[in-house]
Amino acid sequence: MKKLLSATALLLASIHVAHAAIASPDIAALVEKEGPAVVNISTTQTVVNNQGGPGMSEDDPFYEFFRRFQPRQQPPREFQARSLGSGFIISNDGYIMTNAHVVGNADEITVKLTDKREFKAKVIGTDERTDVALIKIDAKQLPTVRLGEPARLRVGEPVVAIGSPFGFDNTVTSGIVSAKGRQLPDESFVPFIQTDAAVNPGNSGGPLFNMNGEVVGINSQIYSRTGGFMGLSFAIPIDVAMDVSAQLKASGKVTRGRIGVSIQEMSKDLAESFGLNKPQGALISGVEKDGPADKAGMLPSDIVMKFADKPINTNADLVRMVGATKPGAKVTLQVWRNRAIKELTVTVSEVPEQAGGVKQGRRSNANVGQVGLLVGDLTPAQRKQLGVEYGLLVQAAHGAAARAGIQAGDVIVGIGGEDLKNYQQLARAIEEAKSSNRSVTLRIYRNGGYQFIPLKLSGKTDE
């Protein structure tokens, strides 16, 4: 019996050791092999203080204190602003990838390798929309990173970040992939990889490795209320960055496609109102007059389901696919219109334009349909500015309207897929929706773009 127990214990111990070996990746070996291709980047920038201030950013909390105790009429003075970041070598002849915000506007860039050698670098190109930059040093036979496939990353998979947080060179942190395809405000060209690997100021531009020692992303941003790490880090997928860097290397700039639409994310309520079983696709909330989409016959309320035979799951998918398309290319789209699929062919062009906002209307109406929606007519100049024949400015929203997300300053320009023609049309649509206990989908203009908002209604009123 004792021998049997000993053998069982030995077997269990072996299984435990084997499991531990699988569950605990060898981060030390990864860092030893890949670390030499990670670099420290320091920059200097000459800043001219024309106001004779204290030689610091006006955002600095002590700026006003020091300004008050300095003589007022001082001549302009210059000072050197310094910053730190990270990067990684992608070719043995000295091309290095980093963030655009690390090297943007720098007068001098110094790259330090792990072997303590230092080089002056020149900027090949930067792209602020993806926050990617390509720089080069004059060196040969350098260590390089290996590139992975972000599409193969799984949520929960271990990852490692190497960089220079607060100037501490070659700092290694680890964590897991917290989410994929994360869309951040004003960053619709990048499907960020979210991780909980500790990233702090100075890590920007450094690589994010998978456990195979392959770079899968560039550490770019953190979410923080203190300025330090709070468990939310975001990396640019390396395939997105490499596409940008290839264009930067070839021409020093990045060319993106456009089709002249504004879009919004599909919600469950919107999907139901358009006859879809689930939220999917990119909802077209506005079409630029005489733009590529307009010429192709696209309409507001169309839902793009496929772009060049590739499925569109979210609006961010469409933004990235269109942006990555070469201007001049003809692309077939599948759209959901009137509860059926329709194919359109659009010729992709370049460079978007943004319209201004609307601030006030002329005539106030009563609480439309008693749903907490107070509206006013647009002036002729405002209608011309928006390119609409008619629209109603939301002057106040409460009750059901506020709960739906409608805000003061919104402009109602349509109901479902129809343009708004007059106030009575809106009042009638709301009354019909209330009588049947359903929702009415309003198309609104907000902050330079269009979107749909489903307004859920019932027989109850909001006075």
Active site residues: 101, 131, 204
Answer for the pair 38, 114: CB distance below 8 angstroms, yes or no: yes
Tokens found for residue 426: 């809106």
d(CA 30, CA 210): 9
**Strand, coil or helix: 444:** strand
Residue 337, number of CB atoms within 10 A of its CB: 17
71 vs 66: CA distance, rounded Å? 10
Secondary structure tally for the chain: helices H, strands E: 11, 25
Amino acid 352 reads: P
Question: If DSSP codes are grouped into helix, strand and coil, which group holds residue 47?
Answer: strand
Residue type (1 letter), 231: G
Q: For residue 253, how many other CB atoms are within 10 A of its CB?
A: 10
Between CA 48 and CA 77 the distance in angstroms is 6
Residue 295 corresponds to which amino acid?
A: K
Look at residue 432 and give its three-state secondary structure: helix
Q: How far apart are CA 190 and CA 182, in angstroms?
A: 8
Task: Let me know: does 446 contact 410? Beta carbons within 8 Å.
Answer: yes
291: number of CA atoms within 13 Å, CB side? 21
First-last CA distance in the chain: 83
Give me 168's structure tokens: 């501490």
Give the sign of the dihedral formed by CA 191, CA 197, CA 200, CA 202. negative
**Nearest by Cα to 168 from 84, 82, 267, 43:** 84
